[in-house]
Amino acid sequence: MSKTFTWSEAQTLLPVVEALLKKAQKAATLAAEIELRMQALSQKIFLSGGLLVDIRRAAQRRAEREKAMQEAKDTMAEFDAIGVQVKDLEKGLLDFPCIIDGKTVLLCWKLGEKEIGYWHTEEDGFAGRKPLDARFGKPERERLN
């Protein structure tokens, strides 16, 4: 069975997973930018009917892309090890499996939100997220804010 979290446990993990999320986003963005530059160079070579290429620079760029891709993969593996699901890396959507009324639901957090304030079923996804209620163990005074 996969890891599940209480609201309090998930909330405590937020600073850690937020830092991991930003690290993964940065690495994925860098890899994509390098890939675009490499594609642009390939297109330029093709259109000019061949071009002298700085092989050393091209190899360096390829190595930078591989390093960034590996960093993104390693960071995603850290999420798996913790038990947090990355639903959308670009948007910064994370889900924390949670047991409520004997069923597994997902505590839902999006980058930029100060706390975990929503949940949804696996079937409903982000579009069906609802505000947390008393079943999640969030202190009443905090739910009113």
Asked if residue 144 has pLDDT above 90, the reply is: no
Q: Are strands 130-131 and 93-100 parallel, antiparallel or unpaired?
A: unpaired
- Residue 83's nearest CA partner among 104, 111, 69, 101 is 104
Q: What pLDDT does 19 receive? A: 96
Q: Rounded mean pLDDT of 27-42?
A: 88
- What is the reported pTM? 0.81
Q: What pLDDT does 7 receive? A: 94
Asked if residue 6 has pLDDT above 70, the reply is: yes
Q: How confident is the model at residue 138 (pLDDT cuts 50, 70, 90)?
A: low
Nearest-angstrom CA–CA distance, 90 and 75: 14
Contact present, 110 and 89 (Cβ < 8 Å):
no
Over residues 89-134, the pLDDT tens digits come to 999 999 999 999 899 999 999 999 999 999 999 999 888 999 998 8
The residues spanned by each domain of the chain are: 8-82, 93-143
Asked if residue 75 has pLDDT above 80, the reply is: yes
First and final C-alpha spacing in the chain: 34
Q: What pLDDT does 11 receive? A: 95
Structure tokens at 36: 């675009």
